Structure 1
Amino acid sequence: MGRRAWGTVRRLPSGRYQARYPDSSGKQVSAPHTFATKADGNRWLAKVQTQLDSGSWIDPKAGQETLGVYAERWVDTRLVRGRPLAPRTAELYRAQLKNHIVPALGSTPLRQMDASAVRAWYGTLSGPDGPGQVTAAKCYRLLRAICTTAVDDNLIARNPCSIRGAGQERSSERPMFALAQVQALVDAVEDRWRALILLAGWTGLRIGELAALRREDLDLTAGTVSVRSSVVDVIGQGRSYGPPKSAAGRRTVAIPPHIIDDLAHHLATYAEPGAKGLVFVGPKGGPIRRNNFAARVWAPAAEAAGLPPGSHLHDLRGWGATVAARHGATTRELMHRLGHASPAAALRYQRAEQERDAALAAAMSAALGHSDGMTSS
């Protein structure tokens, strides 16, 4: 007698009521809990039918998998523009999961992930004992992306990551070198690495792009360097060469003429032979490895040149972009030199130069006020 137009409600020996309904395959599914009255069961069925009709229904048995297990599979199967994650990106995601997400949330079933749990986790991660705001923002964005996919997979009804501004990085300003410091850095490294430092600073190439450069990529007659490939070293997977990070990363950049002779000297003295030969290799003929280069070449040279503590080779990229902006490079021109698809970074360098220009103008006015021999006309 418990029949209705859709689904059934029956009385159990306990006196409570059980609701059942057919899923999309026709299989009968029981409600995850019983009801005190038959009317309560009918109301619940009506709600489920509405959700099924609107496409917002979530199987009550879905989401039993833990966040940790789902997140690992997410990294393995994630596609960006139809391609798997780059090895370095996958490595970074797994490190963020292992160090900052899974220890706190990994054992939580997906269906139990809620906004309060995410807020508590993020509050700890971004607090004074956490790894810092930048890392917290990166981890939050990763968790939000994973949960977005879980919503798309109909495993959870809504994304529990709803903290406004939590995914925005507020990086501290990177050190800005003076031209004299960059020249001191060039003079401090061994002759083998002089051309690499010059090219990094004056063209803005990334370390992975520099490490992948081959002789055929340098046209010293035309004064250009073509970025066709990049290299990444992934723990447990070794070294891999592949296309740049984005389509915009594949580019040809003009080389300032004053470093052409240094590059010619390097090619004649240190680069591998043949058109496919690597431009930059170590004393034993091995390719550049980021960590080894940072420890053995960059760190002692940076100290000798008096660079600010914590300076990285990547800071030369920002220095080169700022110099280009200072000499009138447009947003589009900076995007091309840096290999960026978005104008955000280019605008940052231009904004820095505008702020400096305003400061210079203010200083000029201040100097006028302190000059007894100057009068307005």
Structure 2
Amino acid sequence: MPSVTRSWDRLSDHKPLIGFVDACLRGPAQVVLQNNPLTGLLVLVAIAWGAFENGQPRILGGAVLGLVVGTATAVALRVDEPSLRKGLFGFSPLLTGIAVPTFLDDRPLMWLYLVLGAIATTVVTLALNAIFKTWGLTAFTMPFVLTTWVLLLAAYQFDRFTVLTNLKPMFPGEGQLSDGRFNWDLVPTFLRGVSQIYLINSWVTGLIILVALLVNSRWSALFAVIGTVGATVLALWFGADATSLDKGLFGFNAVLTAIAVGAVLHRPGALVTLYTLFGIALTLFVQMALTSMLTPLAIPVLTAPFNIATWLLLLPKRHFAPVANHERAKETVVSTVKHTV
């Protein structure tokens, strides 16, 4: 395997087309803060499985189109080559490409809307990273969140689109949480908490994503499991909506936080694990608060809770480990911003 990896790296270094494909393959992996084309390929397989399992093959098409358009936009804007090669301008457009066909009805204009959204996501990535660099942070997936929110809210004003979020606009406290229908077969629920990172409801997709993580980092895979189990159990304990629980909707943001804080930005250890467990709870509470805020608008929270919680956890700059030389931090989404956590 190492020889194959070296051969692929050499090929991508000398062949521009292969280099572009390599950057695109790393994009799906960078959603979960990994820099590995094989991990990215497995994530695409996971997305494909979930898309066809749920009878929505257009989601796979949207993911690939968003990924390619976002990466091509970065090339056109002449972003720095190392960041481009690591797939750092593909992961947020990939998520935008999944969100648009997920939340809007399928019609030809939707695909133009998706392309424009993917281009915008890359531009927003550059803008937010320039802003967050001031505090030694990076934008993570917030460009996808902001762009998708704008696209969905704008779609309400266009007669050619129908928004399919399945969310009923209401003020906090007006609706009723579903009760007693939670499926106590917890393992599939935990796995769906992983798959929902990519807006897919499939335990098989979640399992493939865990395998993809394991290919690059056993610590990332472990903390992904800790994230989905911890957040789901805590949400169950506090009496969260049973239907959302069963779909894994309270796990995916915590998975991202757990990977970032527990396995990528800090060297794994006892103190880091405790900090990560707190971060999982913080992420869940932020998600619940944002859900209350956004329910009147009938738009989903997406990965905003992960971004907010992780920024809050990083700003105190606790020196748990020498991150600058940590092997898990060298080649990830955070490597474009020079900072010490």
- Fold match, TM over 0.5? no
Normalised by the length of structure 2, the TM-score is 0.28
Q: TM-score, normalised by structure 1?
A: 0.26
More strand by share: 1
Greater per-residue helix proportion: 2
Greater RCO between the two (CA within 8 Å, min separation 6)? 2
